Amino acid sequence: MTTFPGSPRVMKGALVGIEPVNPLASVIVFQYNPDTLTRTLQAQTAGEGGARAEVTRLKGAPVETIKLEVEVDATDQLETGDGLATSLGIYPQLSALEMLIYPRSPLVVANTVLLGLGTLEIVPPVGPLTFLVWGLKRVLPVRLTEFSITEEAHDVALNPVRARVTLGLRVLSYNDLSITNPAYYVFMTHHILKEALATVGSLGNLSAAAGGSVKLF
Protein backbone atom coordinates (compact mmCIF):
# COMPACT_ATOMS: atom_id res chain seq x y z
CA MET A 1 0.00 0.00 0.00
CA THR A 2 1.36 3.40 -0.93
CA THR A 3 2.37 5.88 1.76
CA PHE A 4 1.92 8.91 -0.55
CA PRO A 5 0.36 11.66 1.61
CA GLY A 6 -2.42 12.29 -0.91
CA SER A 7 -3.51 8.65 -1.16
CA PRO A 8 -7.01 7.88 0.17
CA ARG A 9 -7.28 6.38 3.63
CA VAL A 10 -8.64 2.85 3.30
CA MET A 11 -11.01 1.65 6.01
CA LYS A 12 -10.20 -1.66 7.62
CA GLY A 13 -12.69 -4.49 7.68
CA ALA A 14 -13.24 -6.18 11.03
CA LEU A 15 -15.01 -8.91 12.97
CA VAL A 16 -16.33 -7.89 16.37
CA GLY A 17 -17.61 -10.31 19.01
CA ILE A 18 -19.75 -8.88 21.82
CA GLU A 19 -20.86 -10.53 25.06
CA PRO A 20 -23.05 -9.09 27.85
CA VAL A 21 -20.29 -9.58 30.44
CA ASN A 22 -17.54 -8.52 28.06
CA PRO A 23 -18.71 -5.94 25.48
CA LEU A 24 -15.51 -6.37 23.46
CA ALA A 25 -14.93 -10.10 23.77
CA SER A 26 -13.07 -10.30 20.45
CA VAL A 27 -12.13 -7.46 18.14
CA ILE A 28 -10.28 -8.48 14.99
CA VAL A 29 -9.35 -5.66 12.63
CA PHE A 30 -8.11 -7.10 9.36
CA GLN A 31 -4.44 -6.38 8.86
CA TYR A 32 -5.03 -6.49 5.11
CA ASN A 33 -8.51 -6.23 3.65
CA PRO A 34 -9.34 -9.37 1.62
CA ASP A 35 -9.05 -8.89 -2.15
CA THR A 36 -12.35 -10.69 -2.71
CA LEU A 37 -15.52 -11.19 -0.73
CA THR A 38 -17.98 -13.75 -2.11
CA ARG A 39 -21.65 -13.31 -1.24
CA THR A 40 -24.42 -15.83 -1.97
CA LEU A 41 -28.08 -14.94 -1.50
CA GLN A 42 -30.87 -17.54 -1.46
CA ALA A 43 -34.36 -16.10 -1.86
CA GLN A 44 -36.92 -17.08 0.78
CA THR A 45 -39.98 -17.58 -1.44
CA ALA A 46 -43.32 -19.17 -0.67
CA GLY A 47 -42.09 -22.34 -2.37
CA GLU A 48 -42.85 -24.33 -5.47
CA GLY A 49 -46.25 -25.84 -6.08
CA GLY A 50 -48.19 -23.21 -4.15
CA ALA A 51 -51.20 -21.22 -5.30
CA ARG A 52 -50.61 -18.87 -8.21
CA ALA A 53 -51.35 -15.87 -6.04
CA GLU A 54 -48.48 -16.91 -3.72
CA VAL A 55 -45.77 -17.34 -6.33
CA THR A 56 -44.21 -13.90 -5.81
CA ARG A 57 -44.51 -13.82 -2.04
CA LEU A 58 -41.35 -13.54 0.03
CA LYS A 59 -41.18 -15.10 3.49
CA GLY A 60 -38.42 -12.75 4.61
CA ALA A 61 -34.92 -11.56 3.87
CA PRO A 62 -32.80 -13.88 1.71
CA VAL A 63 -30.38 -16.26 3.39
CA GLU A 64 -26.99 -14.67 2.76
CA THR A 65 -23.64 -16.39 3.14
CA ILE A 66 -20.24 -14.71 2.85
CA LYS A 67 -16.84 -16.22 2.20
CA LEU A 68 -13.56 -14.37 2.55
CA GLU A 69 -9.89 -15.04 3.16
CA VAL A 70 -7.92 -13.04 5.71
CA GLU A 71 -4.12 -12.75 5.81
CA VAL A 72 -2.34 -12.40 9.15
CA ASP A 73 1.37 -11.58 9.04
CA ALA A 74 3.82 -10.55 11.77
CA THR A 75 6.70 -9.70 9.41
CA ASP A 76 6.49 -5.92 9.86
CA GLN A 77 6.22 -6.22 13.65
CA LEU A 78 9.17 -8.59 13.81
CA GLU A 79 11.29 -6.20 11.77
CA THR A 80 10.61 -3.39 14.25
CA GLY A 81 11.31 -5.62 17.25
CA ASP A 82 7.75 -5.67 18.57
CA GLY A 83 7.87 -7.61 21.84
CA LEU A 84 4.47 -9.27 21.46
CA ALA A 85 5.17 -10.49 17.93
CA THR A 86 8.66 -11.65 18.93
CA SER A 87 7.40 -13.77 21.83
CA LEU A 88 4.03 -14.95 20.50
CA GLY A 89 3.99 -14.42 16.74
CA ILE A 90 0.39 -14.13 15.54
CA TYR A 91 -1.08 -16.43 18.21
CA PRO A 92 -3.05 -13.54 19.79
CA GLN A 93 -4.70 -12.58 16.49
CA LEU A 94 -5.56 -16.19 15.62
CA SER A 95 -6.85 -16.79 19.15
CA ALA A 96 -9.14 -13.76 18.93
CA LEU A 97 -10.65 -15.20 15.75
CA GLU A 98 -11.03 -18.66 17.25
CA MET A 99 -12.75 -17.31 20.37
CA LEU A 100 -15.69 -16.35 18.15
CA ILE A 101 -16.60 -20.07 18.07
CA TYR A 102 -15.42 -21.14 21.52
CA PRO A 103 -17.68 -21.08 24.60
CA ARG A 104 -16.20 -19.24 27.56
CA SER A 105 -14.26 -21.56 29.89
CA PRO A 106 -16.07 -20.48 33.10
CA LEU A 107 -19.38 -21.52 31.53
CA VAL A 108 -17.91 -24.87 30.47
CA VAL A 109 -16.65 -25.47 34.01
CA ALA A 110 -19.98 -24.42 35.54
CA ASN A 111 -21.93 -26.76 33.25
CA THR A 112 -19.52 -29.61 34.05
CA VAL A 113 -20.15 -29.07 37.77
CA LEU A 114 -23.92 -29.04 37.20
CA LEU A 115 -23.68 -32.30 35.29
CA GLY A 116 -21.66 -33.80 38.13
CA LEU A 117 -24.38 -32.76 40.57
CA GLY A 118 -26.97 -34.62 38.53
CA THR A 119 -28.64 -31.74 36.70
CA LEU A 120 -30.74 -33.31 33.96
CA GLU A 121 -30.85 -30.42 31.50
CA ILE A 122 -27.93 -28.14 30.75
CA VAL A 123 -28.39 -25.09 28.53
CA PRO A 124 -25.52 -24.83 26.04
CA PRO A 125 -23.37 -21.72 26.52
CA VAL A 126 -24.17 -18.74 24.32
CA GLY A 127 -21.34 -17.59 22.08
CA PRO A 128 -20.51 -13.95 21.38
CA LEU A 129 -22.79 -11.95 19.11
CA THR A 130 -20.57 -11.41 16.07
CA PHE A 131 -20.65 -8.57 13.56
CA LEU A 132 -18.87 -8.23 10.24
CA VAL A 133 -17.88 -4.60 9.71
CA TRP A 134 -17.19 -3.93 6.06
CA GLY A 135 -17.26 -0.16 5.73
CA LEU A 136 -19.85 2.23 7.13
CA LYS A 137 -22.58 0.95 4.82
CA ARG A 138 -22.27 -2.71 5.74
CA VAL A 139 -22.40 -3.80 9.36
CA LEU A 140 -23.94 -7.26 9.61
CA PRO A 141 -24.68 -9.69 12.43
CA VAL A 142 -23.16 -13.02 11.41
CA ARG A 143 -22.49 -16.56 12.61
CA LEU A 144 -19.27 -18.34 11.68
CA THR A 145 -20.05 -21.53 9.76
CA GLU A 146 -16.64 -22.35 8.25
CA PHE A 147 -13.20 -21.69 9.65
CA SER A 148 -9.87 -22.95 8.37
CA ILE A 149 -6.37 -21.75 9.21
CA THR A 150 -3.31 -22.40 7.05
CA GLU A 151 -0.15 -21.52 8.99
CA GLU A 152 2.47 -20.71 6.36
CA ALA A 153 5.50 -19.72 8.45
CA HIS A 154 6.76 -20.17 12.01
CA ASP A 155 9.54 -18.74 14.12
CA VAL A 156 12.21 -20.78 15.92
CA ALA A 157 9.81 -21.41 18.83
CA LEU A 158 7.19 -22.67 16.34
CA ASN A 159 4.95 -19.67 16.90
CA PRO A 160 2.99 -18.97 13.71
CA VAL A 161 4.13 -15.73 12.09
CA ARG A 162 2.13 -15.86 8.85
CA ALA A 163 -1.23 -17.48 8.14
CA ARG A 164 -4.23 -17.46 5.82
CA VAL A 165 -7.64 -17.75 7.46
CA THR A 166 -10.65 -18.76 5.37
CA LEU A 167 -13.98 -17.74 6.88
CA GLY A 168 -17.52 -18.72 6.00
CA LEU A 169 -20.19 -16.47 7.50
CA ARG A 170 -23.97 -16.79 7.65
CA VAL A 171 -25.69 -13.42 7.91
CA LEU A 172 -28.29 -13.33 10.69
CA SER A 173 -31.40 -11.45 9.58
CA TYR A 174 -34.60 -10.50 11.38
CA ASN A 175 -35.79 -13.98 10.36
CA ASP A 176 -33.26 -15.43 12.82
CA LEU A 177 -33.25 -12.89 15.64
CA SER A 178 -35.61 -11.95 18.43
CA ILE A 179 -37.01 -8.42 18.32
CA THR A 180 -35.35 -7.85 21.71
CA ASN A 181 -31.91 -8.65 20.28
CA PRO A 182 -29.92 -5.52 19.32
CA ALA A 183 -28.68 -7.35 16.21
CA TYR A 184 -32.30 -7.38 14.93
CA TYR A 185 -32.13 -3.61 14.55
CA VAL A 186 -28.63 -3.69 13.09
CA PHE A 187 -29.88 -5.91 10.29
CA MET A 188 -33.06 -3.84 9.84
CA THR A 189 -30.87 -0.75 9.41
CA HIS A 190 -28.86 -2.65 6.79
CA HIS A 191 -32.10 -3.57 5.00
CA ILE A 192 -33.37 0.03 4.96
CA LEU A 193 -30.01 1.35 3.73
CA LYS A 194 -29.99 -1.25 0.96
CA GLU A 195 -33.46 -0.10 -0.13
CA ALA A 196 -32.23 3.51 -0.29
CA LEU A 197 -29.17 2.55 -2.32
CA ALA A 198 -31.33 0.47 -4.68
CA THR A 199 -33.56 3.51 -5.28
CA VAL A 200 -30.54 5.67 -6.09
CA GLY A 201 -29.25 2.99 -8.48
CA SER A 202 -32.65 2.60 -10.16
CA LEU A 203 -32.96 6.36 -10.71
CA GLY A 204 -29.49 6.40 -12.22
CA ASN A 205 -30.40 3.58 -14.59
CA LEU A 206 -33.63 5.38 -15.53
CA SER A 207 -31.66 8.50 -16.34
CA ALA A 208 -29.24 6.51 -18.52
CA ALA A 209 -32.12 4.77 -20.32
CA ALA A 210 -33.74 8.15 -21.02
CA GLY A 211 -30.55 9.48 -22.57
CA GLY A 212 -29.51 11.47 -19.53
CA SER A 213 -32.58 13.71 -19.57
CA VAL A 214 -33.76 12.70 -16.09
CA LYS A 215 -32.31 14.79 -13.24
CA LEU A 216 -31.79 12.79 -10.05
CA PHE A 217 -31.20 15.73 -7.71
Instruction: List, for residues 126-167, the tens digit of each pLDDT value.
Output: 788 999 999 988 999 999 999 999 999 999 999 999 999 999
Q: Along the 217 residues of the chain, how does pLDDT read in single tens digits?
A: 445 555 566 789 999 998 876 666 688 999 999 999 999 999 988 766 666 666 778 888 999 999 999 999 999 899 898 999 999 999 999 999 998 888 888 888 888 888 888 887 777 777 889 999 999 889 999 999 999 999 999 999 999 999 999 999 999 999 999 999 999 999 999 999 999 999 887 766 666 665 655 555 5
Output the furthest CA–CA distance in the chain (Å, rounded).
Answer: 76
d(C-alpha 217, C-alpha 127), whole Å = 46
- The pTM (predicted TM-score) of the whole model is 0.80
Secondary structure (H, E, C), the chain: CCCCCCCCCCCCCEEEEECCCCCCCEEEECCECCCCEEEEEECCECCCCCCHHHCCCECCCCEEEEEEEEEEECHHHHHCCCHHHHHHCCHHHHHHHHHHHCCCHHHHHHHHHHHHCCCCCCCCCCCCEEEEECCCCCEEEEEEEEEEEEEEEECCCCCEEEEEEEEEEEECCCCCCCCCCHHHHHHHHHHHHHHHHHHHHHHHHHHHHCCCCCCCC
